[in-house]
Chains A and B, each alone.
Chain A
Amino acid sequence: MGRRDMADIISTVEFNHTGELLATGDKGGRVVIFQREPESKNAPHSQGEYDVYSTFQSHEPEFDYLKSLEIEEKINKIKWLPQQNAAHSLLSTNDKTIKLWKITERDKRPEGYNLKDEEGKLKDLSTVTSLQVPVLKPMDLMVEVSPRRIFANGHTYHINSISVNSDCETYMSADDLRINLWHLAITDRSFNIVDIKPANMEDLTEVITASEFHPHHCNLFVYSSSKGSLRLCDMRAAALCDKHSKLFEEPEDPSNRSFFSEIISSVSDVKFSHSGRYMLTRDYLTVKVWDLNMEARPIETYQVHDYLRSKLCSLYENDCIFDKFECAWNGSDSVIMTGAYNNFFRMFDRNTKRDVTLEASRESSKPRAVLKPRRVCVGGKRRRDDISVDSLDFTKKILHTAWHPAENIIAIAATNNLYIFQDKVNSDMH
């Protein structure tokens, strides 16, 4: 894969709060925003489809001269700010720097200047005989994107998460060892609220893997670790939230213990439910639902691809065991979704306990076709369209997925392709 191809690899996907806009970030530092076309009777076939709205270069590659290392321009995360006026705003981050972007539309322009002509050239004053008031005339829609804030130099280690607070004034950014709190309007300082860096780096055994603010309580946030634990922290308790309010950890299953147990327990993503009552975590083989009121163990565990359990050594060898999959809730918190290998993604219905495996690929996704459930067979009876474990393509991994906040629309990033699937039949949440 040449460098140009690699730049197109999608590295993050995020719907805004209404679902009208969908942002993707890629390895080349670009952000592409899609907008949902309003449904219209005139063109029923393009009801609610997403078209490109704006594309801009968010981050550029940098070079850290002190360490002789490149800083990748890859966009790790995008988070939308709640919309407060006609403009849209989002935060995008690479490993080191977070940027606040403002997206505005311009669909009118003034015409009829007295001193300038249509092209902007100064008029010969002798030709001006009367005064006119310039009027706004409609023009083709122009989307303008501008960087409003750059939050730099806040992190020594690589940023893995950003999360906007429900107060809409602050946000946090987390790297491997620290979490910082920023004010959206202030770029030259941030407050450190979590620091797990040991005094002796030799003692380092655990890193922060993801973090998120509670959707309703602006003082609460959670962060996950490489040892599989979740820590819920209350910012009212202390300035430095090294002491958690709650620690969520599932005791290890001794019958499944191997040298890879810790690695597969590392949490790659954590998401609060829309209700704020639950948390969803993803580790290498499972997704788990946790109740905020119960720290001892998750209330639900779903197997994503348990057939990989016997292959952990090979997956360790080829580094796949370190892949960080994300997870997502649907709008009503009744269904959860996560990606897997071979361009498969999985959905689990929490109420019916049914699950489905679907594939995001051009061959199987003609427009308006219904996705066919897939199955991975692990020996024993093999049905016709089953895929055997050994023929799974581990280079085709779906790490990033997003669910529309209200409707059954999902966005799936499969390497450098974006798939958007809509459930037209069951458009309402159930």
Chain B
Amino acid sequence: MFARGLKRKCVGHEEDVEGALAGLKTVSSYSLQRQSLLDMSLVKLQLCHMLVEPNLCRSVLIANTVRQIQEEMTQDGTWRAVAPQAAGRAPLDRLVSTEILCRAAWEQEGACPAPGLGDGHTQGPVSDLCPVTSAQAPRHPQSSVWEMDGPRENRGSFHKSLDQIFETLETKNPSCMEELFSDVDSPYYDLDTVLTGMMGGARPGPCEGLEGLAPATPGPSSSCKSDLGELDHVVEILVET
């Protein structure tokens, strides 16, 4: 059952709160995890090696992951919606997915709440994942897209491509992933190559262990925004639900 603290937070709601809350909490926890994965994937797609062509296989796999998340979010209705689900239990398959995402991703952190239980804190998985973008930015002083050094000739198309990404994300329609690669005539990864990169910026130092970055305070939106570089900030705005 719920920890006492959680119940007390719900003071004022007399009705059958537990069920609805469990459903909501499970859904929101899963949604946050999924959102974070989406953010991370989008950042990965845009970060690339400046001088060498990016790995096409890796880009395709990440893009497919983004597509999967996006499709699921579209089915949920969360792709557009900002408001959480209406009260009521999440459908059973959503619980199953949560568990799977949890089990697959967070079991090691030991902070994965089994669906329906809720342990009263969101410290573990969400905060481990969320700071990915915020903590990385300070590591790379040239995190801002517009401060890059290097070949300038693709500047024009770079800005155009960046705009394209953001434009398509903004329309938030299911085919936006296709438009992400809409530059048909040029090789697929022209889009990636002209975008600036931190060299393998998604790779923090030697991978000594699997621990994520130090947990930040819960509440992804506010803490992430404060430390993000400009690029991350923009992505954050556009994809945040």
**Chain A residues in contact with chain B, CB under 8 A?**
67-72, 95, 156-158, 176-177, 200-207, 209, 226, 256-260, 262-263, 266, 309-320, 322, 389-395
Contacts and interface: CB of A to CB of B under 8 A. Distances in A.
Which of B52, B57, B132 has the most CB atoms of chain A within a 10 A radius of its CB? B57
B207 A258 contact: no
Contacts of A205: 60, 63-64, 67
Given A313-B37, A317-B40, A259 B60 contact: no
A310 B193 contact: no
B206 interface: yes
Nearest to B66: A259
A206 B55 contact: no
Interface of B: 34, 37, 40, 44, 51-53, 55-58, 60-61, 63-65, 67-69, 100-101, 103-108, 129, 132, 151, 153-154, 178-184, 187-188, 190, 193, 200, 202-204, 206-212
The 10 A-B residue pairs with the shortest CB-CB distance in the complex, in nearest-first order = A313-B105, A394-B207, A258-B104, A310-B107, A202-B178, A68-B151, A314-B210, A202-B181, A176-B56, A70-B51
Contacts of A200: 178, 184
Contact of B204 (A158, A315, A318): A318
7 contacts: A69-B193, A70-B51, A95-B53, A260-B65, A262-B61, A312-B104, A395-B206
Given A69-B193, A319-B203, A204 B108 contact: no
Contacts of B44: 319
- B-side binding surface: helix, strand, loop or mixed? helix
B57 A207 contact: yes
Nearest to B136: A317
A204 B57 contact: no
A262 B179 contact: no
A310 B56 contact: no
Contact of B207 (A67, A257, A318): A318
Given A259-B69, A313-B129, A390-B209, 6 more contacts: A69-B193, A202-B181, A259-B68, A263-B61, A318-B203, A318-B207
Contact of A262 (B52, B55, B64, B105): B64
Contact of A319 (B108, B200, B208): B200
B97 to A, nearest CB: 8
Nearest to B182: A202
B112 to A, nearest CB: 9
Nearest to B34: A259
Contacts of B202: 317-319
